[in-house]
């Protein structure tokens, strides 16, 4: 049984010795199969992410085997675990330093909603400071859930229009988070 992921050819015109499709579809396939995650792990969800990186679950099958610890080289911010309100400006700064296109994955109950920590010091979901594309529930979520979340981000990356990031709706979304 092979662990190699095959990529379906996009819609296009096929002939002897050539294949033509739109640039947008080719870029989408390239983006979706070469996501570079920046893991922002603070607690037990980080341990589950480490398990996902291991050989049993092998996140490398999805083109994400290179975790980037520099926001300027990453395009997927994976926020995992409890985020204290004091850390919120740092998470937002990391997000702002990432180049477009960028996606955010909130992993675990604490990153999604504050989890069991309904206290004055814990941020009740990272979507209060940055836009989130995919939520992975659980405390902590299993590695299979992490892989499913990653596949959802891949679908977003593959199907996203090249011009969406320049749209007034996207600019309005960023403005609602006070992000330039």
Write the pLDDT tens digit of every residue in 105-134: 999 999 999 989 999 999 999 999 999 999
Q: Is there a binding annotation on residue 45?
A: yes
Residue 22 lies in a domain: no
- Least confident residue range of 72-86, 118-132, 158-172: 158-172
Q: Is there a binding annotation on residue 112?
A: no
User: What pTM was estimated for this model as a whole?
Assistant: 0.87
The total domain count for the chain is: 1
What's the average model confidence in pLDDT over 5-19? 75
The torsion angle over the Cα atoms of residues 170, 176, 178 and 180, rounded to 10 degrees, is 20
Buried b (16+ CB within 10 A) or exposed e, 74-104: bbbbbbbbbbeeebeeebbebbeebeeebbb
Residue 12 lies in a domain: no
Looking at per-residue confidence, does 1 or 180 come out higher? 180
What's the average model confidence in pLDDT over 32-50? 89
For residue 152, the enclosing domain spans 36-177
Look at the alpha carbons of 136, 149, 88, 81 in this order and tell me if their dihedral is positive or negative. positive
CA-nearest of 83, 104, 87 to 95 is 104
As a whole number, the mean pLDDT across the chain is 88
The torsion angle over the Cα atoms of residues 132, 158, 63 and 150, rounded to 10 degrees, is 30
Residue 98 lies in a domain: yes
């Amino acid at each position: 049984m092979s662990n190699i992921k095959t990529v379906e050819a996009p819609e296009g015109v096929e002939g002897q010795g050539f294949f033509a499709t739109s640039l947008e579809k080719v870029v989408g396939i390239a983006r979706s199969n070469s996501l570079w995650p920046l893991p922002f792990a603070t607690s037990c969800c980080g341990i589950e992410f480490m398990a996902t990186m291991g050989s049993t679950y092998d996140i490398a099958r999805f083109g994400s085997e290179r975790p980037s610890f520099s926001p300027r080289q990453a395009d997927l911010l994976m926020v995992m675990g409890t985020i204290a309100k004091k850390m919120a400006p740092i998470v937002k700064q990391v997000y702002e330093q990432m180049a477009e296109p960028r996606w955010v994955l909130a992993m675990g109950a604490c990153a999604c909603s504050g989890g069991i920590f309904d206290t004055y010091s814990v941020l009740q979901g990272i979507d209060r400071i940055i836009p989130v594309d995919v939520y992975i529930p659980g405390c902590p979520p299993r590695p299979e859930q992490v892989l499913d979340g990653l596949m959802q981000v891949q679908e977003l990356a593959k199907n996203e229009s090249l011009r969406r990031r320049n749209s007034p709706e996207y600019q309005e979304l960023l403005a609602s988070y006070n992000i330039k």
